[in-house]
């Protein structure tokens, strides 16, 4: 009988609580449950059970603070990795010849900024967002407009292929006759010889079929 008296008295006490107090009790219970993974060690549980209520509450608060600190450190590492990956990506664009902005593209192609944005949406140009504005890998353009072969290669991709994936294909070397290799970017910059351009177009088409499968 005695071993049931504590839970029964607690139950009767909780029944006397107002609705707001009941809601608060549920919140406190949820917090306590969230801390239970920290008490998988039996010895740690036994030590906690020997504490008075005030000391136990202090222990639980300190454990929750430690959890938040670990979570904050994890988020900080994620943000740092994301920033480092972006910096590496933008650095790789510089190695490909740098980037240009939308005004340059509009002037080079003789179209409006809005028309440039339409081409981006239709995946006719490779573009990425940086600080709210589009940047374009410069290899796509010459003084006279689009680099030769770009339109044909871009049309060969599946329509929903992400620009990052398209860029990856354009950077990947293709085996040519004679044992040499060129990237599609280099093929375009060298004038897009028909036999080489055909291989670049084939690579874009194959990429789409591989992703689909």
Boundaries of every domain in the chain: 19-86, 96-212
Is 90 exceeded by the pLDDT of residue 18?
no
Two tokens at 195?
Answer: 């036999």
Two tokens at 36?
Answer: 């239970």
Is 60 exceeded by the pLDDT of residue 5?
no
Percent of the chain's residues with pLDDT above 90: 46
Reported pTM: 0.61
Q: What is the three-class DSSP state of 148?
A: coil
Residue owning tokens 């990506």:
89
Q: Is the pLDDT higher at 153 or at 32?
A: 153
Q: Report the C-alpha gap between 139 and 209 in whole angstroms.
A: 26
Q: Which of 95, 115, 93 is nearest to 103 (CA)?
A: 115
φ and ψ of 159, to 5 deg: -60, -35
Q: Which of 7, 3, 184 is nearest to 96 (CA)?
A: 184
Is 80 exceeded by the pLDDT of residue 54?
no
What pLDDT shows up at residue 4? 47
Two tokens at 40?
Answer: 């998988």
Query: Are 194 and 152 within 8 A, CB to CB?
Result: no
175 burial type by CB count under 10 A (0-12 exposed, 13-18 middle, 19+ buried): exposed
Q: Report the C-alpha gap between 141 and 146 in whole angstroms.
A: 4
Average pLDDT taken over every residue of the chain: 85
Instruction: Convert the pLDDT of each residue in 169-182 to its tens digit.
Output: 999 999 988 889 99
178 burial type by CB count under 10 A (0-12 exposed, 13-18 middle, 19+ buried): exposed
Query: Are 98 and 138 within 8 A, CB to CB?
Result: yes
Q: Is the pLDDT higher at 110 or at 41?
A: 110
127 Cβ neighbours under 8 A, 6+ residues apart: 120, 134, 135, 136, 163
Is 60 exceeded by the pLDDT of residue 211?
no
Q: Which of 124, 138, 131, 149 is nearest to 95 (CA)?
A: 138
What pLDDT shows up at residue 11? 55
Instruction: Convert the pLDDT of each residue in 70-121 to its tens digit.
Output: 777 777 677 778 777 777 888 888 888 999 999 999 999 999 999 999 999 9
């Amino acid at each position: 009988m005695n071993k049931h008296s504590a839970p029964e008295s607690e139950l009767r006490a909780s029944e006397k609580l107002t609705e707001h107090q009941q809601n608060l009790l549920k919140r406190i219970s949820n917090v306590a449950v969230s801390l239970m993974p920290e008490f998988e060690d039996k010895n740690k549980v036994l030590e906690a059970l020997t504490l008075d209520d005030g000391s136990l509450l202090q222990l639980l608060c300190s454990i929750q603070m430690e959890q938040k600190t670990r979570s904050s450190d994890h988020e900080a590492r994620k943000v740092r990795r994301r920033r480092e990956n972006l910096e590496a990506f933008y650095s790789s664009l510089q190695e490909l010849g740098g980037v240009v902005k939308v005004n340059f593209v509009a002037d080079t192609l003789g179209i409006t900024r809005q028309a440039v944005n339409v081409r981006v949406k239709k995946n006719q140009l490779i573009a990425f967002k940086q600080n709210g504005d589009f940047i374009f890998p410069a290899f796509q353009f010459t003084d006279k407009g689009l680099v030769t072969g770009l339109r044909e290669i871009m049309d060969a991709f599946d329509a929903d292929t992400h620009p990052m994936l398209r860029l990856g294909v354009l950077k990947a070397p293709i085996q040519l006759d004679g044992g040499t290799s060129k990237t599609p970017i280099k093929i375009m910059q060298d004038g897009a010889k028909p036999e080489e351009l055909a291989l670049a177009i084939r690579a874009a088409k194959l990429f789409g079929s591989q992703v689909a499968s």
